[in-house]
């Protein structure tokens, strides 16, 4: 048995401590006032608290699903049945299988997670959402991850004992975009809150106002419906090696993945890049793999 010291009691530190404590003596130190790191819940007033980071988890790997089952039994976790409907199907025949799902949802709110992807923030540490109340004006609406409808189908077929074919098809309906711009002077000085403290976010262009108008979150324009198809052929050479040909987007389906939703970069003027594509779906690609296991 060893004496082990772990710095940090977030998900990572706690998981390691839990595993090591079965065989060793473990001490966990955290520089914060309480345990949990970015998965902790902060008490605000006597009966009021909020999730500081993690609100929900989406386990994918078998090992993690198994781990969460224990937490369900102990009533530490419970299922979140948000506002969505999922239909799934799966069917297997001798040489063929098909599986898929369709989702209808309504994902609304003022907060998409640790970042605000509309204004290009991708670092949990720099989002202005916590510090600047003016970011919340007209902020309730369809979130960037909302799609009215999503569906996917994937399957495989064993053409012979050594050759198989697989495919995956996905469809998602359009994303609802915002138009973000400057905060009009009225909201800085008077406005619904009777003016703002001197800490407002300055001259940023990430408010739910555009060209001087109120544009509530997600109500500016819609993006593209997106389709994607990937296929693969697998040729088994022997028990320890195979060749695989992956064809991503074989029909070269086109579509804009993301549009610019900053509407102005100088107050009152339409920015020429507003509603322009930021990224496209990946074009056709063929990847040849040879895999040998030792
Ligand atoms: C706003 C927000 C929302 C999020 N929402 C989700 C979500 O819905 N679903 C999801 O799956 N994930 C979400 N995440 C991500 C998730 O919170 C993190 O990935 C996860 O909690 C990280 O765990 P960790 O153990 O790696 O790090 P942390 O939780 O950051 O733990 C690190 C710990 O180490 C301590 N520490 C650091 N330095 C020292 C030191 N020198 N000495 C002692 N202690 C130290 C810290 O105080 C902290 O407690 C969100 C994150 C944020 C910020």
Let me know whether 247 and 112 are in one domain.
yes
pLDDT value of position 9: 94
Cα(116)–Cα(134) distance, rounded to whole angstroms?
A: 14
Domain tally for the chain? 2
Contact present, 244 and 275 (Cβ < 8 Å): no
Q: What is the overall mean pLDDT for the chain?
A: 86
Residues with CB under 6 Å of ligand 1 are 7-13, 29-32, 37-39, 53-57, 113-114, 124
Nearest to 13 by CA among 35, 43, 44, 45: 35
CA of 264 to the centre of ligand 1 (A): 34
- Same domain, yes or no, for 155 and 71? no
Asked if residue 125 and residue 3 are part of one domain, the reply reads no
Cβ–Cβ under 8 Å, residues 32 and 7: no
Whose C-alpha lies nearest to ligand 1, atom 45? Answer: 8
Regarding whether 75 and 90 lie in a shared domain, the answer is no
CA distance 105 to 111: 16
Q: Whose CA is nearest to atom 15 of ligand 1?
A: 54
Find the domain containing 111 and state its range. Answer: 82-292
- Are 68 and 94 within one domain? no
Q: How far is the CA of 11 from the centre of ligand 1 (A)?
A: 7
- CA proximity to 134, closest of 81, 187, 59, 180: 187
Please tell me the pTM assigned to this model.
0.62
Is the sign of the CA dihedral 107, 132, 257, 233 positive or negative?
negative
Residue 155 sits in the same domain as residue 109: yes
| CA–centroid distance, residue 9 to ligand 1 (Å) | 9
pLDDT in tens, 213-262: 999 999 999 999 999 999 999 999 999 999 999 999 999 999 999 999 99
User: Do 140 and 272 fall into the same domain?
Assistant: yes
**Confidence bin at 59 (pLDDT 50/70/90):** confident
Q: Which of 249, 252, 264, 258 is nearest to 278 (CA)?
A: 258
Cα–Cα distance, 196 to 227 (Å, whole number): 44
How far, in Å, is the centroid of ligand 1 from the Cα of 53?
7
Q: Considering only CA atoms, which residue is closest to atom 19 of ligand 1?
A: 38
Q: Which structure tokens are listed for 274?
A: 């507003």
């Amino acid at each position: 048995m060893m004496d082990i010291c772990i710095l940090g009691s977030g998900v990572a530190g706690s998981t390691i401590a839990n595993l090591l404590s079965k065989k060793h003596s473990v001490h966990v130190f955290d520089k914060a006032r309480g345990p949990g790191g970015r998965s902790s819940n902060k008490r605000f007033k006597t009966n009021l608290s909020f999730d500081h980071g993690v609100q929900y988890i989406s386990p994918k790997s078998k090992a993690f699903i198994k781990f969460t089952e224990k937490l369900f039994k102990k009533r530490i976790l419970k299922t979140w049945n948000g506002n969505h409907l999922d239909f799934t199907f799966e069917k297997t025949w001798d040489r063929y299988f098909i599986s898929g799902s369709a989702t209808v949802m309504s994902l609304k709110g003022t907060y998409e997670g640790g970042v605000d992807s509309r204004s290009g923030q991708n670092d949990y540490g720099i989002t202005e959402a916590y510090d600047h109340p003016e970011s919340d004006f007209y902020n309730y609406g369809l979130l960037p991850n909302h799609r009215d409808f999503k569906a996917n189908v994937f399957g495989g077929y064993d053409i012979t004992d050594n050759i198989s074919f697989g495919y995956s098809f996905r469809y998602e309906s359009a994303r609802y975009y915002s138009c973000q711009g400057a905060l009009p002077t009225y909201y800085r000085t008077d406005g619904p809150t009777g003016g703002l403290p001197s800490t407002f976010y300055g001259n940023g262009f990430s408010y739910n106002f555009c060209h001087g108008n109120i544009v509530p979150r997600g109500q500016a324009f819609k993006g593209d419906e997106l389709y994607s198809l990937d296929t693969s052929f697998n040729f088994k050479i022997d028990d320890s090696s195979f060749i695989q040909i992956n064809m991503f987007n074989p029909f070269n389906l086109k579509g804009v993945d993301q549009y610019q939703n900053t509407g102005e970069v100088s107050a009152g003027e339409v920015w020429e890049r507003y509603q322009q594509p930021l990224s496209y779906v990946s074009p056709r690609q063929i990847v040849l793999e040879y895999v040998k296991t030792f």
